[in-house]
Amino acid sequence: MSPFARQTALWVVAAALVAALVAFALRDRPGTMAVALPFDLTGKFNFVAFTGHGDNASRMAWKRTDPMLLLILGEAGEPQRRRVERILDELARLTGLPHRTTADADRSTARIHFVPSDDFWSVFRSMAIERNIGKEDLSSLRCYMLPGGGDGLIDFAMIAIDITEGNESINACMLQQIVLSLGMFPHSEEIRPSIFSINKPVEELTLNDRILIRAFYDPAIVPGMKKEEVMRIVPGIIEKLVKRVKTDGEAALVHPHYVFR
In DSSP notation, 33-79 reads SPPPPHHHHHHHHHHHHHSSSHHHHTTB--B-SS--EEEEEES--HH
The answer to whether residue 48 sits within a structural domain is yes
| pLDDT at 209 > cutoff 80 | yes
pLDDT in tens, 21-69: 434 443 444 443 589 999 999 999 998 998 765 554 568 999 999 999 9
Confidence class for position 165, pLDDT limits 50, 70, 90: low
Residues with Cβ within 8 Å of residue 259, at least 6 apart in sequence: 98
155 and 228 share a domain? no
82 and 132 share a domain? yes
Q: Are strands 110-115 and 153-162 parallel, antiparallel or unpaired?
A: parallel
229 and 209 share a domain? yes
Task: Tell me the C-alpha distance between 109 and 155, whole Å.
Answer: 6
Of 161, 182, 203, the position where a domain reaches its end is: 182
Q: How many domains does the chain have?
A: 2
The percentage of the chain sitting over the pLDDT mark of 70, rounded to a whole number, equals 76
100 and 162 share a domain? yes
159 and 212 share a domain? no
191 — phi, psi (to 5°)? 55, 60
Q: Closest Cα to residue 157, out of 210, 254, 91?
A: 91
121 and 34 share a domain? no
Average pLDDT over residues 177-190: 85
Q: What is the mean pLDDT of the chain?
A: 82
| pLDDT at 224 > cutoff 80 | yes
161 and 136 share a domain? yes
Continuous segment of H or E residues that includes residue 84: helix 78-95
**According to the model, what pLDDT value does residue 33 have?**
55
Q: Which residues span the domain enclosing 207?
A: 28-61+185-255
> Who wins on pLDDT, 6 or 171?
171
Q: Closest Cα to residue 154, out of 81, 233, 57?
A: 57
40 and 95 share a domain? no
CA dihedral 194, 200, 203, 205 (to 10 degrees): 0
CA 259 to chain centre: 21
Q: Closest Cα to residue 68, out of 31, 95, 29, 48?
A: 95
73 and 168 share a domain? yes
The percentage of the chain sitting over the pLDDT mark of 90, rounded to a whole number, equals 54
Of 165, 182, 199, the position where a domain reaches its end is: 182
The answer to whether residue 12 sits within a structural domain is no
Residues 84, 52: contact at Cβ < 8 Å? no
Residues with Cβ within 8 Å of residue 78, at least 6 apart in sequence: none
pTM above 0.85, yes or no: no
| pLDDT at 200 > cutoff 60 | yes
**According to the model, what pLDDT value does residue 191 have?**
81
Confidence class for position 120, pLDDT limits 50, 70, 90: confident
| pLDDT at 6 > cutoff 70 | no
